[in-house]
Amino acid sequence: MSHTIRIALAALVLSAGAVLAQPQPGSPSGQNPTTRAVNEEQLLREFERLDGRVTIPDSKAATLEQPQGREWRTFREGWLPWIAGIAILGMLLALVIFYFTKGRVRLDHSEESGTKILRFNTFERFTHWLTASSFIVLGLTGLNYIFGKRILMPLIGPDAFSALSQWGKYAHNYLAWPFMLGILFMMVVWLRDNIPNRVDAAWLKAGGGFLGDAHPSAGRFNAGQKIVFWIVMLGGIAMSVTGIILMFPISAVDVNGIQLNQAIHAIIGVLFVAAILAHIYIGSLGMEGAYDAMGSGEVDLAWARRHHDLWVEEQQAKTASGPQLGGSRPIPAE
């Protein structure tokens, strides 16, 4: 009897347990069973990268998430606007301060000789303006990538900004080619005259004539111009290489390489724009007579003697008889 009671009790307990084990609506066991399963965030924290397997030809599609993407976004949205803003606004501020403290570098008009000397021939000026006009569009459209949605979009609205950015991107991609050609031409025509020498050290020591009254000697290009030349050459080559990699995505590097390239392209780009702002200033507003060299190609002989005395001597030695020095015909530079 007692044995029968024990079996009955055991059966009762088991059946009660089975009833209690049934999922009840609203109870924890009634929740979605995958809720407590490992999720994407936990996997990412554990492995730092989520990869799967794909059968489509694009094997890159197997990567679901990787930390570099977030690091790049942090740089792109956080650091880059600050780097660009400080570089460009800092340079503009420095130029404004320089202008109001030192003023324009003037040539006393009584010093003008009335004789012109050819400083840059037609091909040299063509090369300069081919590169410069492309660079202006590249610089503006490049800055639109960084500041456009922050500054322009609130002003002109999303539709106009979208159209402008799309055309800006076309201009950026396609005007990169005349820019690169210009860099190549510049290298061919000006490399020889931009190799640093001892005269440059003396020019820099004298602060390029800005620090004192005496004007230091210079050849065809002074040390400041040589610095600009090498910034343009090295910056131009770096921008060209990183730009081509970006223009043909996944051809040479993977997605991490593209992000790294984009960061390098953007940082060099904003520093390049800042440096060229100084070049534009000194070639136009900052120095009287400097624009003529790249505008008409001819400068006053007195201006040339003041800023590039060694080059003028070299030119006079080449045309030792120098009949043109007495007249108004320009002296050929080469």
Partner 1 sequence: MKTILLAVVAALAIGAGAAALLSATQKTAYMAYTTSGARVSEPGHNLVGPAWTGRI
Span near partner 1 by CB under 8 A; candidates 73-81, 131-139, 186-194, 256-264: 131-139
Span near partner 1 by CB under 8 A; candidates 39-47, 49-57, 110-118, 226-234: 49-57
**Residue 57 makes contact with partner 1 by CB under 8 A:** yes
Among positions 216-275, residues that touch partner 1 (CB under 8 A) are: 247
Return the number of the residue (81 or 209) whose C-beta is nearest partner 1: 81
Q: Which amino acid is at 28?
A: P
CA end-to-end distance (rounded Å), the chain: 127
Return the number of the residue (98 or 177) whose C-beta is nearest partner 1: 177
**Residue 133 makes contact with partner 1 by CB under 8 A:** yes
Return the number of the residue (92 or 171) whose C-beta is nearest partner 1: 171
By CB under 8 A, name the one of 134, 165, 225, 261 that touches partner 1.
134
**Residue 215 makes contact with partner 1 by CB under 8 A:** no
Span near partner 1 by CB under 8 A; candidates 106-114, 118-126, 231-239, 316-324: 118-126
Mask of contacts with partner 1, 59-98, x by CB under 8 A? ----------------------------------------
**Least separation in angstroms between CB 82 and partner 1:** 22
Mask of contacts with partner 1, 170-189, x by CB under 8 A? xx-xxxxxxx-x--------
Return the number of the residue (166 or 197) whose C-beta is nearest partner 1: 166
Specify the residue for token string 């065809």: 220
Report phi then psi at 276, rounded to 5: -70, -30
**Least separation in angstroms between CB 76 and partner 1:** 15
Name the site residues for partner 1 (rule: CB under 8 A). 55-58, 122, 125-130, 132-134, 158, 170-171, 173-179, 181, 247, 295, 297
